């Protein structure tokens, strides 16, 4: 009996090991240029992954898959939003699939886990989502195509100061982007003489905001600043309305994530009138943006692009332009250096890569949620131009 | 005619078969021949050690733990912190992690001694979730959601550095697996191990014949905790990274599945289960990245419906009735 | 303070409705059904879909959710669960986890993984405030509804259990299945209907809870621990046990989050472990119960 088990074990080990073996590649005239896209397609952050992947597909649909004579191949991997997985996937992509660029990365923990791998293997890393400012410092090979929390928060903090808000309470989730957002808001707000009455950090897996909002109501600030990822953000908006905070004179302001375009139509009336700042709104009034939205919807008709979608699109643009600039031979630091010189018009507005921080210098828009026709939109009513990753005007 | 004692029977069962060392050599050869498989084999070895430790608790002592990741996580973080702040040598770190894991299991063992099956399931689950929350709370120590950054592993035994292609890590984890496989075989073949089986089969009867059930359970659980911590430590060493997912419910559920797939109550079962599960995951994740859990769920439902013990006896799949164990 | 207490009670009652099905199932069939949360999720999604695509008013959705999930429960009991009653606990656990996985991925595949949001009718969105000297009791109308519905359900359940033939047969089967069978009580029918009702109640809980707890495909696993805590502490042989356990849990969770937000769910787990260590059989166990 045991022998059968032994045979089975040995066979299964060998059989499964064989799955890791790749047939030798038929050498093409030009080596294909491979992009390893590591995003969360399942799990709590699946919407980020889907936005990124759809946008990447939209870009390759528009621009084709040949750049400077090389065929671009995108290899999609799902890390489920777990840093340990992303790290393993990155290693496998680089060592086994020999990708030239790794891209994606939905969350800060994932970015930080993968960064040392990019550095050690000298692989360019295009960060398309995670917005913690410190991320790009984790590897000199990293370039980001989204934005930073500090960058985005500076907008709303400034607006708060300019519009007579003297006291505030901050409510953020209990992880790095949350802390950063709280920091950033405090920095601007306190510097202009505002007072923070309470700093609430909400546990990540939180079903009910009732106790926290009740606390806010009891403290009675002029405004409640919120930064939350979109799912919980919508829940908060509803409970905010129900708890009568608006009637109590507490204004709701926030980081653009709480009125995420991907989710805004579901949040519906509860979101009306909420003022946020961010680097992209689906409602942005430009021909390029309208084209982008149509393109995106042709790939994924069930949603519209949000700030992650546009980052996926622009991230691919960075890769393509850098490859063109290096005549198709760019790799490693040369490719990154090429990216550092880029500036172009994005569906969000004008963007420019800051060679020092390797982040975009871009516009931050003040928006208010309004109903436009059948849909709810973040309608831009003001803009702060050329804000860099640290939230300063450049 | 020589009289055969109970001891002889037990010894015979526990003796090493001649083909076993060959079996153990196989994965090393695979890694040597196909270095691209190193990541996968490393993963399999780590989960195999973890599965062995759960089998000690579940298959041999009969305690249903839905929170075994608690010890995996403790070991993983202990190893990470040790490497970062004390000494980057992995073997010493491994021993430290085992100590931490064993101590945690020792302390927790008192919570599982009493109560119904449901209570034990709840408490084990609760403990792992509490540890997860504590880890989440103590971000200054664990790095919180970001994970523990900045771990630089030194060479194994000062001689074999961890290479980027993961080959050293694979050999390292395979070696650890073999060591524990060997040690655990001796333990389960020993009188202690057999007394655990007696406790599993009928705790009341075991107590009635004079086995100190509480003490044995505590010892078994502590041992299992140390082995689980070793698995966690090896994961940290292989990746130079550790995050709170090491404490997650998913991890506990995954290892439970592996032990069940392979068959409880024999150590190779855990190993096989780990190999099959990790292998399937690897293959299916590429094909259907989003719906891996669907297939796992379907597999579970069918497997449990059909009868767990039938899996490793495929000739019973189409027989109806009669195959009782 | 009073408001927080009120919120805690509402949360607790919701947990009760969600968990009572699990408690009865466990007590009756000795079956650890970790897929219970999936029935709750089903109730939530039925509500969302009906409201969004067919414009069915919210109040009507709740009983519909009950019927639909009860039907699902009945069907699954007959074709899947029934064969599992005699299997060891480990098999049952893994079986139900497998079912939960399947449910979660089906929802993820067909509806998507983002959180579902429902728009409550206007009259449920307001709040009423009562002032007692220094203290203010603010009662959200929605939470008032939850409390009202749950109290009504509790009375109905209690009535069924103690005043009807079915109820006494059920209690007999819980106490000793074999004897009940021997007395001619159709245990299969009892199992089927109890399971169906338990699942239906979970569905109601899901429908009511989607507003307060958030609804997405990870719902079954996110809340499974809470249901299990209620059952483990409250026991499986009465209604009052889980009721009290849910209330304790709800209030502890909400108050904990109000006064010490950083500790979050930690408090709930700690309470659970302490209680289980103190009374491993649960807080409310009848003499001689399993």
Q: Tens digit of pLDDT for each residue in A63-88?
A: 988 888 889 999 999 888 888 888 88
* Predicted local distance difference test score (pLDDT) of residue C75: 92
CA distance C273 to B126: 7
Share of chain A above pLDDT 70, in %: 91
Q: Please tell me if residue C11 touches chain A, with a CB cutoff of 8 Å.
A: yes
Tell whether the model's pLDDT for residue A390 goes beyond 90: no
In this complex, the residue of C94, C105, C263 whose CB is nearest that of residue B300 is C94
Extents of the domains making up chain A: 31-147+285-358, 150-278+364-387
pLDDT at A36: 94
Residue A124 is encoded by which pair of tokens? 């360019």
Give the fold, CATH level 3, of A31-147+285-358.
Rossmann fold (3.40.50)
Is C274 domain-assigned? Answer: no
Cβ pair A6:B23 closer than 8 A: yes
pLDDT score, position A11: 52
pTM of the model: 0.81
Residue A41 C-alpha from the chain's centroid: 14
Q: At what angle do helices A108-121 and A176-191 cross, to 10 degrees?
A: 100
Nearest by CB: C105 against B117, B137, B293: B293
The list of chain B residues with pLDDT below 50 reads: 320-325
Closest-CA residue of C relative to B302 is C95
pLDDT digits (tens, 9 = 90+) for A365-374: 999 999 998 8
What is the secondary structure of A305-355 as a DSSP string? --HHHHHHHHHHHHHHHHHHHTTT---HHHHHHHHHT-EEEETTEEEEEET
Residue C267 lies in a domain: no
What local confidence, expressed as pLDDT, does residue A28 receive?
Answer: 45
Q: For residue A2, is pLDDT > 70?
A: no
Contact A361, A354 (CB under 8 A): yes
Which residues in chain C are closer than 8 Å to B303, comparing Cβ atoms? 94, 98
Residue C245 covered by a domain: no
Please tell me which of the candidates C105, C266, C269 has its beta carbon nearest to residue B294.
Answer: C105
Q: Which long-range contacts (CB under 8 A, 24 or more apart) does A26-32 make?
A: A28/A71, A30/A69, A30/A70, A30/A71, A30/A328, A31/A70, A32/A70, A32/A71, A32/A72, A32/A73
Mutation pick from B54, B70, B294 vs chain C, by most beta carbons of C within 10 Å, is B294
Query: Which DSSP symbol is given to A42?
Result: S
Mutant choice from C36, C242, C276 vs B, greatest count of B C-beta within 10 A:
C276
Strand, helix or coil at C47?
Answer: helix
Nearest CB to A112 within list B30, B146, B240: B146
**Nearest CA distance, B312 vs chain A (angstrom):** 8
Q: How far is CA A144 from CA A88, A95, A114, B32, in A?
A: 21, 23, 14, 38
Q: What's the domain range around C156? A: 2-224
Task: Label residue A18 by pLDDT band (50, 70, 90).
Answer: very low
The three-state secondary structure class of A174 is coil
Burial class (CB in 10 A: 0-12, 13-18, 19+), A65: middle
Would you state the structure tokens that stand for residue A138, as one six-digit string? 């984790």
CA distance A301 to B45: 43
Domain B25-289 has CATH 1.10.3470: yes
Topology at the third CATH level for domain A150-278+364-387: Rossmann fold (3.40.50)
Partners of C6 on chain A (C-beta within 8 Å) are: none
pLDDT for A1 equals 41
- The residue in chain A having the minimum alpha-carbon distance to the alpha carbon of residue B242 is A84
pLDDT at C281: 62
Q: Which residues contact C259 (CB under 8 A, 6 or more apart)?
A: none
pLDDT digits (tens, 9 = 90+) for A176-190: 788 889 999 998 899
**From CA B270, how far away is CA C240, in angstroms rounded?**
42
**DSSP H/E element including C130:** strand C127-132
If we measure between CA atoms, which residue out of A86, C159, C130 comes closest to residue B146?
A: A86
- For chain B, say whether A88 makes contact (Cβ under 8 Å): yes
Spatial separation of the C-alpha atoms in residues C68 and C80, rounded to whole Å:
18
Q: What is the pLDDT along chain C (290 residues), one digit of tens a residue?
A: 788 888 889 989 999 988 888 888 887 777 878 889 999 999 999 988 888 888 888 888 889 999 999 999 999 988 888 888 878 777 888 888 889 989 988 888 887 767 777 777 777 777 777 777 777 777 778 888 888 888 898 888 888 888 888 888 888 887 777 888 888 888 888 888 889 988 999 999 898 888 778 788 888 887 887 888 888 788 777 788 889 889 988 888 888 878 776 666 677 777 777 777 777 666 655 444 44
Domain count, chain C: 1
> Which tens digit of pLDDT belongs to each residue from B245-274?
888 888 898 898 898 888 887 888 889 899
- Helix or strand run (H / E) with residue A78: strand A70-78
Q: Distance (Å) from the C-alpha of residue C140 to the closest C-alpha of chain B?
A: 30
User: Best mutation site among B122, B285, B309 for testing chain C: the one with the most C CBs within 10 Å?
Assistant: B122
Confidence at residue A352, expressed as pLDDT on a 0 to 100 scale:
93
**In the prediction, which pLDDT does B322 show?**
41
The chains found to touch C (3+ Cβ pairs under 8 angstroms) are A, B
Rg (CA), chain A: 22
**Helices (H) and strands (E) in chain B — how many of each?**
14, 0
A117 min Cα distance to partner chain B (Å): 8
Compare A206 and A263 and report the one with higher pLDDT. Answer: A263
Residues of B in contact with A91 (CB under 8 A): 39, 164, 166
Cβ neighbors of A312 (< 8 A, separation 6 or more) are A51, A52, A53, A54, A55, A56, A59, A128, A145
Q: What is the pLDDT of residue A263?
A: 81
Lowest-confidence range among A251-265, A315-329, C41-55, C171-185? C171-185
CA distance B95 to B97: 5
Interface residue B202 vs chain C (CB under 8 A): no
Q: Is the model more confident about A25 or about B274?
A: B274
In the predicted model, is pLDDT for residue A171 greater than 80? yes
* pLDDT at site A236: 84
Q: Considering CB atoms only, which of B58, B137, B297 is closest to C98?
A: B297
Q: Is B260's Cβ below 8 Å from some Cβ in C?
A: yes
Identify all chain C residues contacting B123, using CB atoms and an 8 Å cutoff: 273, 276-277
Does the pLDDT at position A333 exceed 50? yes
C144 contacts in chain A (CB < 8 Å): none
Tell me which chains share at least 3 CB pairs under 8 Å with chain A: B, C
* The two domains A31-147+285-358 and A150-278+364-387 share their CATH topology (first three levels equal): yes
Nearest C-alpha of chain B: how many angstroms from A17? 6
Residue C186 CB coordination number (10 Å): 13
Query: CB of A35 within 8 A of CB of A105?
Result: no
Neighbours of chain B (3+ CB pairs under 8 A): A, C
Tokens of A337: 């250096």
- Asked if C213 is an interface residue toward chain A (Cβ–Cβ < 8 A), one would say yes
In this complex, which of A44, A207, A211 lies closest to C213 when CB atoms are compared? A207
Instruction: Take residue C22 and report the two structure tokens written for it.
Output: 């699990």
Q: φ, ψ for residue A278 (rounded to 5)?
A: -165, 175
Of A10, A92, A203, Cβ closest to residue B39: A92
Contact A149, A177 (CB under 8 A): yes
Q: A112 to chain B: which residues are within 8 Å by CB?
A: 146-147, 149
What residues of B are in contact with residue C264 (Cβ under 8 Å)?
133
d(CA C232, CA A369): 46
Q: Is the CB of C264 inside 8 Å of chain A's CB atoms?
A: yes
Q: In this complex, how many residue pairs, one in chain B and one in chain C, have their CB atoms less than 8 Å apart?
A: 123
A178 contacts in C (CB within 8 Å)? none
> Residue B120 to residues A14, B64, B228, C265: CA-CA distances in angstroms?
38, 7, 18, 20
């Amino acid at each position: 009996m045991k022998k059968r088990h032994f045979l089975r074990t040995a066979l299964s080990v060998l059989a499964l090991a064989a799955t890791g073996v790749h047939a030798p590649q038929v050498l093409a005239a030009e080596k294909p240029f491979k992009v390893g896209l590591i995003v969360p397609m399942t799990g709590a952050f699946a919407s980020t992954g889907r936005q990124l992947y759809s946008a990447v597909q939209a870009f390759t649909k528009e621009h084709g898959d040949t750049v400077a004579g090389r065929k671009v191949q995108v290899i999609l991997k799902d890390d489920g939003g777990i840093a340990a997985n992303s790290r393993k996937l990155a290693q496998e992509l680089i060592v086994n699939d020999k990708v030239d660029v790794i891209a994606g990365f939905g969350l800060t923990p994932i970015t930080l886990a993968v960064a040392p791998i990019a550095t050690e293997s000298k692989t360019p890393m295009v960060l398309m989502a995670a917005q913690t400012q410190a991320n790009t410092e984790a590897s000199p090979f990293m370039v980001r195509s989204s934005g930073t929390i500090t960058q985005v928060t500076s907008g709303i903090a400034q607006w708060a100061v300019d519009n007579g808000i003297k006291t505030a309470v901050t409510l953020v989730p209990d992880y790095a982007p949350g802390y950063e957002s709280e920091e950033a808001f405090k920095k601007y707000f306190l510097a202009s003489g505002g007072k923070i009455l309470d700093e609430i950090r909400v546990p990540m897996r939180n079903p009910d905001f009732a106790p926290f909002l009740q606390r806010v109501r009891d403290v009675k600030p002029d405004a409640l600043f919120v930064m939350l990822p979109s799912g919980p953000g919508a829940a908060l908006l509803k409970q905010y309305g129900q708890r009568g905070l608006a009637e109590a004179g507490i204004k709701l302001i926030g980081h653009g994530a709480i009125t995420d375009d991907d989710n805004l139509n579901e949040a519906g009336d509860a979101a009306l009138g909420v003022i946020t700042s961010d680097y992209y709104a689906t409602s942005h009034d430009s021909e390029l943006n309208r084209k982008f939205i149509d393109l995106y919807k042709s790939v994924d008709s069930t949603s519209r692009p949000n700030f992650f979608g546009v980052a996926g699109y622009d991230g691919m643009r960075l890769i393509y332009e850098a490859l063109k600039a290096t005549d198709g031979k760019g790799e490693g630091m040369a490719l990154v250096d090429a990216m550092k010189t880029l500036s172009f018009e994005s569906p969000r507005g004008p963007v420019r890569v800051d060679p020092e921080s390797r982040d975009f210098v871009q516009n931050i828009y003040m928006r208010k949620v309004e109903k436009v026709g059948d849909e709810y939109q973040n309608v831009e009513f003001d803009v702060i131009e050329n804000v860099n990753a640290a939230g300063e005007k450049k | 005619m020589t009289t055969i004692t109970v001891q002889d029977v037990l010894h015979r069962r526990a003796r090493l078969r001649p083909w076993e060392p060959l079996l153990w050599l196989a994965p090393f050869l695979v890694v040597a021949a196909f270095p691209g498989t190193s990541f996968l084999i490393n993963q399999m070895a780590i989960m195999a050690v973890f599965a062995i430790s759960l089998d000690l608790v579940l298959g041999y002592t009969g305690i249903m733990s839905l929170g075994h990741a608690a010890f995996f996580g403790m070991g993983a973080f202990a190893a990470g912190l040790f490497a970062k702040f004390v000494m980057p040598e992995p073997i010493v770190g491994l021993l430290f992690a085992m100590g931490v894991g064993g101590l945690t299991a020792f302390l927790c063992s008192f919570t599982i001694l009493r109560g119904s099956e449901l209570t034990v399931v709840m408490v084990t689950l609760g403990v792992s979730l509490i540890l997860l929350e504590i880890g989440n709370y103590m971000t200054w120590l664990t790095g919180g959601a970001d994970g523990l950054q900045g771990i630089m592993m030194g060479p194994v035994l000062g001689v074999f550095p961890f290479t980027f292609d993961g080959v050293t890590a694979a050999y390292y984890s395979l070696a650890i697996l073999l060591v524990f496989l060997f040690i655990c075989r001796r333990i389960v073949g020993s009188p202690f191990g057999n007394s655990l089986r007696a406790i599993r089969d009928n705790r009341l009867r075991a107590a009635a014949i004079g086995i100190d059930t509480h003490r044995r359970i505590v010892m078994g659980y502590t041992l299992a905790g140390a082995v689980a911590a070793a698995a966690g430590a090896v994961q940290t060493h292989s990746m130079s990274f550790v995050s709170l997912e090491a404490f997650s419910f998913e991890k506990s559920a995954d290892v439970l599945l592996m032990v069940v797939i392979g068959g409880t109550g024999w150590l190779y079962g855990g190993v096989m289960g780990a190999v099959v599960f990790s292998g399937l995951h690897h293959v299916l994740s590429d094909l259907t990245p989003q719906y891996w859990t669907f297939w796992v769920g379907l597999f579970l439902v069918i497997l449990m419906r059909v009868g767990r013990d039938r899996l490793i006896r495929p000739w019973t799949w189409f027989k109806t009735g009669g195959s009782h164990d | 303070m009073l408001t927080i207490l009120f919120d805690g009670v509402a949360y607790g009652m919701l947990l009760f409705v969600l968990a009572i099905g699990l408690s009865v199932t466990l007590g009756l069939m000795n079956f650890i059904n970790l897929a219970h949360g999936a029935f709750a999720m089903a109730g939530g999604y039925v509500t969302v879909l009906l409201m969004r695509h067919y414009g069915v008013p919210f109040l009507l959705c709740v009983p519909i959710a009950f019927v639909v999930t009860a039907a699902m429960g009945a069907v699954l009991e007959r074709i899947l669960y029934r064969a599992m009653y005699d299997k060891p606990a480990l098999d049952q656990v893994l079986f139900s986890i497998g079912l939960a996985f399947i449910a979660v991925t089906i929802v993820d595949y067909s509806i998507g993984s983002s959180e579902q949001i429902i728009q409550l009718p206007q009259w449920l969105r307001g709040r009423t405030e009562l002032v007692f000297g220094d203290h203010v009791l603010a009662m959200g109308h929605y939470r008032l509804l939850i409390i009202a519905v749950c109290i009504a359900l509790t009375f109905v359940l209690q009535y069924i259990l103690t005043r009807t033939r079915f109820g006494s047969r059920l209690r007999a089967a819980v106490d000793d299945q074999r004897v009940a069978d021997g007395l001619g009580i159709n245990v299969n029918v009892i199992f089927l209907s109890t399971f169906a009702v338990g699942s239906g109640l979970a569905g109601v809980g899901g429908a009511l809870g989607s507003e307060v707890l958030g609804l997405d495909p990870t719902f079954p696993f996110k809340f499974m621990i809470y249901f299990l805590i209620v059952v483990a502490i409250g026991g499986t042989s009465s209604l009052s046990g889980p009721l009290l356990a849910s209330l304790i849990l709800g209030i502890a969770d909400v108050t904990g989050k109000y006064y010490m937000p950083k500790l979050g769910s930690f408090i709930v787990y700690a309470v659970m472990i302490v209680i289980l260590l103190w009374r491993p059989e649960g807080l409310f166990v009848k003499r001689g119960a399993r």
